[in-house]
Amino acid sequence: MENISEQISDIRKEWGDRLLILAHHYQRSAVVKHADESGDSLELARKASQYEKAERIVFCGVKFMAESADVLSGADQAVYMPEMGAGCPMADMATAEHMESAIQYLNQVVTNWRPIVYVNSSAEVKACCGKHGGSTCTSSNAERIFKWAIDQGDRILFLPDEHLGVNSAHDLGISDDEIALYDPEKENGGLSEEEVKAAKVIVWKGFCIVHQAFTVAHVSKVRELLPEAKIIVHPESPKEVVRVCDAHGSTAQIIDYVKNSPDGSTIIIGTELNLIQRLADQEKGRVIVKALVPSICANMAKTNEANLLHTLQAWPEHQVVKVATDIAADARASLETMLSL
Tell which residue, 165, 157, 167, has the closest CA to residue 128: 157
- The reply to whether 210 sits near ligand SF4 by the rule CB under 6 A is yes
C-beta of 222: minimal distance to ligand 13P in Å?
21
Q: How far is CA 135 from the centre of its chain?
A: 14
DSSP H helices in the chain? 4-15, 29-32, 41-48, 63-72, 96-109, 123-131, 142-151, 162-171, 193-198, 209-212, 216-225, 239-244, 251-259, 273-282, 305-314, 325-340
Of residues 67, 83, 124, 272, which one binds ligand SF4 by CB under 6 A?
272
Within residues 103-122, the interface with ligand SF4 by CB under 6 A covers 120
Looking at 22, 28, 40, 54, which residue binds ligand 13P (CB under 6 A)? 40
Closest approach of ligand SF4 to the CB of residue 12, in Å: 25
**Closest C-alpha among 260, 178, 182, 245 to residue 211:** 245
Is 135 a binding residue for ligand SF4 by CB under 6 A? The answer is no
Binding residues with ligand SF4: total (CB under 6 A): 13
Q: Which is nearer to ligand SF4, 120 or 141 (CB)?
A: 120
Restricting to residues 54-93, name those near ligand 13P by CB under 6 A: 88
Residue 55 in contact with residue 74, Cβ under 8 Å? no
Nearest to 211 by CA among 267, 261, 164: 164
Task: Compare residues 48 and 88 and give the one whose CB is closer to ligand 13P.
Answer: 88
Dihedral Cα 196, 198, 204, 207, nearest 10 deg: -150
CB 5 within 8 A of CB 32: no
Using CB under 6 A as the criterion, what x/- string covers residues 234-253 for binding ligand 13P?
--x-------------xx--
Using rule CB under 6 A, residue 88 touches ligand SF4: yes
- Interface with ligand SF4, residue 125, by CB under 6 A: no
Residue 305 interaction partner, one of ligand 13P, ligand SF4, none, beta carbon < 5-8 Å per kind: none
Residue 307 as a binder of ligand 13P (CB under 6 A): the answer is no
Show contacts with ligand SF4 in window 297-316 (CB under 6 A).
297, 299-300
CB of residue 276 to ligand SF4, shortest distance in Å = 13
With CB under 6 A as the contact rule, which of the stretches 45-53, 164-172, 206-214, 316-324 interacts with ligand SF4? 206-214
Nearest CB to ligand 13P, comparing residues 136 and 261: 136
Reduced 3-state DSSP string for 223-269: HHHCCCCEEEECCCCCHHHHHHCCEECCHHHHHHHHHCCCCCCEEEE
Among 44, 90, 289, 312, interactor with ligand SF4 by CB under 6 A: 90
CA distance 67 to 39: 16
Q: Can you give the three-state secondary structure of 132-183, one letter per residue?
A: CCCEEECCCCHHHHHHHHHHCCCEEEEECCHHHHHHHHHHCCCCHHHEEEEC
Q: How far is CA 287 from CA 241, 262, 272, in A?
A: 23, 8, 19
β-pairing verdict for 230-233 and 266-270: parallel
41 lies in the binding site for ligand 13P (CB under 6 A): yes
Which residues 128-147 are close enough to bind ligand 13P by CB under 6 A?
A: 138-140
Does 38 contact ligand 13P by CB under 6 A?
A: no
Q: How far is the CB of 99 from ligand SF4 (least distance, A)?
A: 18
Residues at the contact surface with ligand SF4, assessed by CB under 6 A: 26, 62, 88-90, 120, 208-210, 272, 297, 299-300
Residues at the contact surface with ligand 13P, assessed by CB under 6 A: 25, 40-41, 88, 120, 138-140, 208, 236, 250-251
